[in-house]
Amino acid sequence: MPASTAPVRLVLASRSPARLATLAAAGVTPRVVVSDVDEPAVLDAARAGFGGDLDPADAVLVLAQAKAEEVSSRLADDDEDGASALVLGCDSMLELDGTIVGKPADADEARSRWRAMRGRSGVLHTGHWLVDARDPEDGGTGGTLGASSSTTVHFADIDDDEIDAYVASDEPLHVAGAFTIDGLGGPYVDRIEGDHHGVVGLSLPLLRELLGELEIPWRSLRDPR
């Protein structure tokens, strides 16, 4: 059976301006509904369920799923119109020396993080989870699935003054791994191995593949021209 080309309404379960901008640049304007999950509690429950620590790629996927499912459930309860949509949850973490690091708690932690990262490499993991909450008459499948993208990031060997100036910009305090590639942190990333969009926080190629699993063509998300 051919995939439907009817327009699909996407809900982004994230407050990330970078994720929103990535979708907008690709011609997609989602509705933003920020998730309200307790991330440490979600990870603790997952570790208990799996009986041990989670791989970084699994940890971000667990959080992405929790965010997508929480928003989908909330829309179904509170907003009949908004319930008939495709919900996307995302989460990103940096893996450095086998340790998962998210957003720094404060400027001191951001400075310490950068002193540990400079001149070295880490892996940025981003989890993606889709919940197809569309009505069956709109082509909804009830499907739910996800995957993670992982990109190796090689950081520049910058000095303490450069680190202090970057941290003073306040940007590192609001992003996973205390850096961006599409903002003020871009000059401090020498190169990457993998998907650029995954480092920004939303892998467009991976999202397209997940949509394909639900028989939703990418073009159905794009805004009408």
Cβ count near 72 (within 10 Å): 27
Return the pLDDT at 77.
76
Active-site position among 53, 81, 91, 132: 91
Least confident of 5-9, 171-175, 180-184, 213-217: 5-9
Q: Distances in Å between the alpha carbon of 142 and those of 6, 83, 128, 155, 216?
A: 17, 12, 17, 41, 13
Q: Half-sphere exposure (CA, 13 Å, Cβ side) for 43?
A: 16
> What pLDDT digit, counting tens, does each position of 160-172 carry?
999 999 999 999 9
What is the C-alpha separation between 69 and 74, in angstroms, rounded?
8
| pTM greater than 0.75 | yes
Told to judge if 91 belongs to the known catalytic residues of this protein, a careful annotator would answer yes
* Contact between 77 and 85 (Cβ < 8 Å): no
Q: What beta strand segments (E) does 43-113 contain?
A: 86-96, 99-101
